[in-house]
């Protein structure tokens, strides 16, 4: 039975982080996506895959969750990445913008691009409000890439 027939609205995030060589750091970032602040597991959240490239020193953590929970889960993983990855010593052949390079949100089932965009905007807002110190450490503006029918639009969040 499909998840949409069960009434679940599922989305996924392919969280790109600038670490692959320290496996425990990547695993802690993935673990942060699964656990609430009280240490209990988020309901309906799974880490589906972790792909790490040693040469690039970059990992992609695939997080799937109900659309209502995904934002909290991804935010927790981002905050863990900001605390765990020191960009002053990070090396790899892939250019990177920060500890977290990319936070794409994709619809899986029972949810559209609009809802995924709302989740992404909520993550942006929460990153600004909850982690100014972490953003200062990154030292670069956040960018938002929003899917549009006629292509891709980029807006600098610091300007919005």
Closest CA to 56 of 91, 9, 101: 91
- The bridge status of strand 143-148 relative to strand 151-156 is antiparallel
- Residue 108 has a pLDDT of 95
Q: Which DSSP string do the residues of 6-49 spell out, in sequence order?
A: TT--EEEEEEEES--S-HHHHHHHHHHHHB-TTSPBPTTEEEEE
Q: What are phi and psi of 16, to 5 degrees?
A: -100, 115
pTM, entire model? 0.81
Q: Can you give the pLDDT at residue 88?
A: 83
Q: Are 133 and 40 in contact (CB under 8 A)?
A: no
Instruction: Kindly give the confidence (pLDDT) of every residue in the chain, 160 residues in length, as a single tens digit, with 9 standing for 90 and above.
Output: 444 455 689 999 999 999 999 999 999 999 999 998 888 998 889 999 999 999 999 999 999 999 999 999 999 999 999 899 988 888 888 777 788 988 999 999 999 998 999 999 899 888 877 656 555 555 445 555 555 444 545 444 444 4
Residue 89 three-state SS: coil
With CA atoms as reference, report the closest residue to 16 among 105, 89, 83. 105
pLDDT at 125: 85
Tell me how crowded residue 36 is: count the other CB atoms within 10 A of its CB: 14
């Amino acid at each position: 039975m499909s998840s949409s027939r069960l009434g679940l609205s599922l989305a996924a995030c392919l969280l790109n982080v600038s670490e692959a060589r320290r496996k425990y750091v990547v695993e802690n970032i993935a673990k942060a996506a699964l656990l609430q602040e009280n240490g209990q597991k988020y309901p309906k959240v799974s880490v589906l895959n972790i792909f790490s490239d040693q040469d690039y020193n970059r990992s992609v953590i695939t997080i799937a969750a109900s659309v209502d929970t995904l934002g909290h889960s991804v935010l927790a993983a981002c905050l863990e990445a900001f605390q765990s990855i020191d960009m002053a010593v990070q090396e790899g052949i892939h250019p990177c913008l920060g500890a977290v390079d990319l936070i794409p949100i994709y619809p899986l089932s029972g949810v559209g691009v609009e809802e995924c965009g709302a989740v992404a905007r909520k993550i942006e807002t929460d990153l600004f409000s909850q982690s100014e110190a972490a953003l200062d450490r990154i030292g670069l503006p956040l960018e938002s890439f929003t899917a549009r029918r006629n292509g891709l639009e980029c807006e600098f969040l610091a300007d919005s």
